[in-house]
């Protein structure tokens, strides 16, 4: 049960509060995960990030995109400098009420396999700026490590935004979490595809990058049948109330193929 609620004025203060309360304390951004009743029972201290000015979107002097950790999904969609693929990914979030609250930082730290921004952030090789650390961490690594260090902002290099891209997801209804999500980026050399990145959500406990398939396709001319066959045989989703493992594997193949077609 929540016993203490802090609204710090600086990041240093937020981190110091977190260090004092360790596992019982949580940073609170949009609260769409933390304010679920079972989470409110789990923690004792919330450290609200609203006063930390982490909701800016800008291009830095190198032309790279910088997105504050507390930027909401809706703000991404409304921004003039956010590229189309990230807007499309943000639009996959099930409804506007949640989009108005949910933040990009919370989506990454939540690390859910059906997190709608995560496949796109991974294929764009987006990086996390952890407060106080010089070295940037790939979103992919941050999630795999189940890192929970304070995210200040997310950085996407301009060269990755210039690649061809596709984003797709399937949900059972228009107001539900995605069952499977997929995103790809690549460059084209004549008819051959290269620098391929493929990420899929809903087929493992976190969103995963399909590195073996990326390698197999590198420098080839894309064939849809081969691609869907490779993916169906590679991913190992679990059967649950949203769908059987066979259906999810089939869907993963089709959605990745659609991403390439869209691109």
Can you tell me the distance from the alpha carbon of 181 to that of 85, in angstroms, rounded to the nearest whole number?
13
Nearer to ligand FAD, 47 or 213 (CB): 47
- Taking CB under 6 A as the criterion, the residue among 31, 137, 195, 258 binding ligand FAD is 31
Give residue for tokens 């084209």. Answer: 188
Rg (CA), the chain: 19
- Taking CB under 6 A as the criterion, the residue among 65, 67, 69, 76 binding ligand FAD is 69
Q: Is 206 in the site for ligand FAD (CB under 6 A)?
A: no
User: Helices marked H in the chain — which ranges?
Assistant: 11-21, 37-42, 73-78, 84-91, 96-101, 104-110, 118-123, 139-144, 158-161, 211-217, 224-234, 245-262
- Taking CB under 6 A as the criterion, the residue among 86, 109, 183, 203 binding ligand FAD is 109
Can you tell me the distance from the alpha carbon of 160 to that of 83, in angstroms, rounded to the nearest whole number?
11
User: Which residue, among 62, 60, 96, 48, has the nearest Cα to 76 in the 3D structure?
Assistant: 96
Nearer to ligand FAD, 74 or 160 (CB): 74
- Taking CB atoms, the residue at the shortest distance from ligand FAD is 106
Residue 93 C-beta: closest distance to ligand FAD, Å: 4
Nearer to ligand FAD, 87 or 224 (CB): 87
Nearer to ligand FAD, 28 or 65 (CB): 28
Residues 74-103 that bind ligand FAD (CB under 6 A): 93-94, 98, 101-103
Q: CB of 115 within 8 A of CB of 32?
A: no
Q: Is 119 in the site for ligand FAD (CB under 6 A)?
A: no
Backbone phi, then psi, for 176, in 5-degree steps? -140, 165
Which residues would be at the binding site for ligand FAD (CB under 6 A)?
A: 26-34, 36, 49, 69, 93-94, 98, 101-103, 105-107, 109-110, 112, 115-116, 148, 150-151, 177
């Amino acid at each position: 049960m929540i016993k203490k609620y802090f609204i710090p004025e600086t990041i240093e203060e937020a981190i110091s509060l977190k260090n004092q309360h360790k596992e019982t304390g949580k940073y609170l951004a949009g609260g769409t995960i933390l304010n679920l009743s079972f989470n409110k029972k789990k923690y004792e201290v919330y450290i609200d990030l609203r006063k930390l000015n982490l909701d800016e979107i800008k291009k830095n002097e190198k032309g790279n995109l910088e997105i504050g950790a507390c930027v909401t999904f809706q703000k991404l969609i409304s921004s003039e400098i956010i590229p189309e693929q990230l807007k499309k990914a943000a639009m996959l979030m099930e409804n506007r009420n949640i989009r108005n609250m949910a933040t990009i930082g919370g989506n990454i730290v939540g690390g859910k396999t059906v997190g709608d921004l995560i496949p796109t952030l991974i294929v764009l090789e987006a990086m996390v700026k952890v407060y106080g650390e010089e070295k940037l961490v790939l979103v992919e690594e941050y999630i795999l490590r189940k890192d929970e260090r304070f995210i200040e902002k997310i950085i996407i290099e301009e060269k990755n935004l210039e690649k061809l891209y596709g984003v797709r997801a399937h949900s059972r209804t228009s107001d539900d979490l995605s069952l499977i999500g997929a995103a790809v980026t690549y460059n084209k050399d004549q008819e051959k595809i290269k620098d391929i990145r493929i990420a899929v959500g809903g087929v493992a406990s976190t969103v995963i990058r399909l590195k073996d398939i990326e390698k197999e396709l590198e420098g080839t001319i894309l064939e849809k049948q081969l691609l869907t066959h490779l993916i169906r045989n590679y991913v190992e989703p679990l059967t649950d109330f949203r769908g059987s493992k066979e259906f999810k594997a089939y869907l993963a193949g089709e959605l990745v193929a659609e991403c390439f077609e869209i691109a």
